[in-house]
Structures are given as C-alpha cells and as structure tokens.
Amino acid sequence: MIVLGRMLMVLWICTSFISCGADKKDETKENSKPAKEALTPPTFNSDSSYHYIEQQLAFGPRVPNTSPHAQCAQYLQDELKRFGCEVMVQEFEATAWNNTTLNGKNIIASLWPEKKKRIMLAAHWDTRPYADRDSVDKDSPILGANDGASGVAVLMEMARVMLQHDTIPRVGVDLVLFDVEDYGAPESAEVNDRKFCLGSEYWSNNKHQKNYHAYYGILLDMVGAKDATFTMEGNSMEFAPKIVRKVWNKAKNLGYKNYFLRKKTMGILDDHYYVNTVARIPMIDIIHHSQSKEHLFFQHWHTHRDDIHCIDKNTLQAVGETLLHVLYEE
C-alpha cells in the first residue's frame, strides 16, 4: 500500500482525535438498536493463527511469477477447502510498473454461500519483491510475516473456527485473498503510477460472481505486530464510517482499545480503495499505523526484518476475536 498524499491523491486529510462526545453518540446509536438474538461466537485461537503464518513463511517470499508463490497459493486453497469453504481462484494477468507481466491469483473462499446477506473479509497474500526500506539487500524479496501473512492467517483461523462452531452467524462470509498488492514500484523509482493493489483493482472490475455484492467489507493489513496500533484510516472513514465505529466500539468493549485507537489518520491507497471506488462495496481497512514519527506503518515495513519475530499472538487475538464478535452480532 502507499500513502495517497504522495501521489497527490489524498482523498481525506489527517485530523486529530475524535471527540469523546462523538464516541458516546456512536455507542448510544449501537445500543439503541432493537435487540437481536444473542449468538455466541467461536473462540479465536491465536496459536493456530500463528501457525498459519509459519506455514506461509515456510514457502519463502510469495512473489508473483515464482515457485514459492504458486506453492503457497495451492496451500491456501487446500487448507480453506479442508475447513469446509467453497473455494475458487480468479486468475488474471497484470502489468507491473516496470512492464513485467504478472500472473496473479485472487483466492476466494465462501462460507454459507446460500445466505444472501454477505460480509466480505480480505487481505493480500503476496509479498514485496524488494526490501526498498531496508539498508541492506534492497533488491531481495522479503518474507512478509506481518505485511501479507498476518492478515491471511487471521482470516484462515476465523474460517476454521466458524465452520467448526455449533452456531453459525446470520450472514454469509466471503474471504477474498488479493494477489499482487505489493509489487508496486520501489521508492527509488521515478514513475508516476507506482501500481500497487493490482489484484484488488482487477477483482473490483471483474467480480468473481456476476452482480456480487457484500453488505460491507473489512480489509486486514499488517495485523500481527507487537503493540500494533490501528487508527481510523481516512478512506475507511469517508466510505464506511459506520463500519469503522462498529468495529472500534466492539474492540473497546472486548478490552482492546489500546490496539484500536480512536484517532483519524490520512487516507492511503490499499486494497480497500478499489473495492470502495470501483466495486462500490463499503470497506474499511484495519492497518497498523505507527504512532512514532520515525515510521508511517509498522517498524519493519518493507524490510527483511518483517519475519516471524515481528509477530505477537496477543495482536492476532485482538483482531480475530473482535471480528468474530462483529460477524456474530450481524
């Protein structure tokens, strides 16, 4: 993903903290809705989610047009099918910033496909082909434990426990694993179009099902680092503010307010951008936005230090548990 401001495409300006009064108003609205039958969500297992990160990393960097990429794609399909998902692969070709033709695979896994009201959960599964923010081996691909594998692993564990649970939610769920998100131009390249998020752009123009629509979507990006902080990202607040507040309120109620900060930050170009603007599905982005002036995203973003040592099970738990509660309260 990239910051839209760097491309003169900022759709939303960074502002300060949301007022306490607004927070209370949002929570009051949530609480004033007619009560639904309480459904108990399954228990998220962060150990299992961590294992799915390890499994992805075992293939090495998952860069399009490479053998590890193809092997990991097959692994993801096989695991999701084993859980009981209905899986399809959307194959496509995309032209990278340097005119390389990339063979991409968007992997879609559906739970309870017969249900009409659907929620879309997404993450990208490919990894960056170069470590352009590192001081060494800048031209070598990264493992992408947090930037790539963490979001996928949270969704995999959610699918596993939901399909094993005695109670199913009132909504159907579609997991969409986008490819070719992170093949954008390195920071040193002087190009106008850096071409990030090519898989989500393709999917948004060519949905896997004709007339597919989801009630809303949630994108996960870099959701596994220790002490991660997820802010209210600008494009999420422009296109789906109610969903942002729904998720952040639930996280607060579960005791995870230190992860889900009530702070607005600038809009970024991530996979949710095309889902919002092209597919017209309101989608939010849960993404690690650093509170340090030294880093924009998590500390080891686009470096070789984005490995398994970055991952903290407590963060995986905070995200996975929150989303399971959100789904089971629909």
For residue 25, the model assigns a pLDDT of 52
For residue 290, the model assigns a pLDDT of 86
pLDDT, tens digit (0-9, with 9 covering 90-100), for 261-308? 999 999 999 999 999 999 999 999 999 998 877 777 888 999 999 999
Is residue 111 within 8 A of residue 172, CB to CB? The reply is: yes
For residue 32, the model assigns a pLDDT of 57
Dihedral angle, C-alpha 6, 143, 43, 270, nearest 10 °: 20
Dihedral angle, C-alpha 94, 110, 240, 319, nearest 10 °: -100
Predicted TM-score (pTM) of the model is 0.91
Helices within 206-240 (DSSP H only): 234-239
User: How large is the average pLDDT for residues 192-220?
Assistant: 97
Please indicate whether residue 157 or residue 21 has the higher confidence score (pLDDT). Answer: 157
Tell me the C-alpha distance between 324 and 79, whole Å. Answer: 20
214 pLDDT tier (thresholds 50, 70, 90): very high
